[in-house]
Chains A and B, each alone.
Chain A
Amino acid sequence: MDLSAKVYTPEQVASMLQLSKNTIYDLISRGEIIAKRIGKVYRIPAKSLSFVFEGLDYDLYLAEQEDLKNLPKIKKSLSKTRSKLWLKKSRSS
């Protein structure tokens, strides 16, 4: 999913996390959930809730995406190597 695309209200986030609305405001005031205050209301970007969507904090989500970019070439090389080594071992045993 595109974590940068969407924002949520504190009420929506309370429902998603199964917490009270007051707890969400408390988490916002403590900086545990990063929100944007617009006038008198708050909006919470999806990337602040990365854990809800991805099971990972946002920095870990980004770190994983960094590895995933390189993974196809790694898998291809590893697969070739394993075929070669296992073929050799199967023949010798």
Chain B
Amino acid sequence: MAQKIKVFVDSDVIISSQISNLGAAYFLLNETDLQLYISNLSLVELIDVGKKLKIETRRLVSLVKKRFNQVNLKENSRELKRQFNDYTKDPEDIHVVAGATLAGVDFLLTYNMKDYKIDKIKRDFNLICLRPAQLLQYLRSL
């Protein structure tokens, strides 16, 4: 069996998939050839954002359990900043890059490309940042 492509999914993509079932994020999360990852910190923020946007916590937790592998970021905030500060334009996005590198994925999926230093991330971690539709397009080319 071919090895599945490993993908870390930013919270904006997961929330998008729960708002519309016609969007690229929804299609991507239902793509069975992918092994999806989030971090423990992503899960905390997902639940908080879900509450703000009236998405049931139970639904989000169930999706994560069913579809995602979870990596645990143990470093404190200062340590994460020290290691990953150079990879994002916004310090609040650091945990996403940290989670993706810990998971050892091939792709980081996000709708927030402008806040990640994608060339540096690619160079240092061999990790490609894409939007969901771009990854779906890539899958069609395989």
Chain A contacts to B: CB under 8 angstroms: 51, 55-57, 60-61, 63-64, 66-71, 73-75, 77-86, 89-90, 92-93
Cβ of B93 < 8 Å from any Cβ of A? yes
A92–B15 alpha-carbon span in the complex (Å): 28
Selected from B22, B41, B92, B137, the residue in CB contact (under 8 A) with A79 is: B92
A7 → B minimal CB distance (Å): 24
The 10 closest A-B pairs by CB, nearest first: A67-B23, A93-B76, A82-B92, A64-B133, A89-B77, A63-B24, A66-B23, A77-B52, A60-B133, A81-B48
Cβ of B126 < 8 Å from any Cβ of A? no
- B134 — which chain A residues lie within 8 A by C-beta? 55-56
Q: 1/0 per position for B62-105, CB-CB distance to A under 8 A? A: 00000000000000111100000000000111000000000000
Asked whether, in the complex, the Cβ of B140 is within 8 Å of the Cβ of A57, the reply is yes
Inter-chain pairs besides A63-B132, A64-B131, 19 sampled, C-beta below 8 Å: A51-B137, A57-B137, A61-B133, A66-B20, A67-B16, A67-B23, A67-B25, A70-B20, A71-B16, A73-B53, A74-B16, A74-B111, A77-B15, A78-B15, A81-B49, A82-B92, A83-B92, A86-B77, A92-B76
A1–B135 alpha-carbon span in the complex (Å): 21
A57 nearest CB neighbor, chain B only: B137
- B39 — which chain A residues lie within 8 A by C-beta? none
A83–B85 alpha-carbon span in the complex (Å): 16
B81 nearest CB neighbor, chain A only: A90
> A78-B49, A81-B45, A85-B45 known; A60 and B16 CB under 8 Å?
no
Count of inter-chain pairs, beta carbons less than 8 A: 93
> A77-B53, A78-B11, A86-B91 known; A93 and B77 CB under 8 Å?
yes
Asked whether, in the complex, the Cβ of A74 is within 8 Å of the Cβ of B53, the reply is yes
A86 nearest CB neighbor, chain B only: B92
- A63 — which chain B residues lie within 8 A by C-beta? 22-24, 27, 132-133, 136
Cβ of B57 < 8 Å from any Cβ of A? no
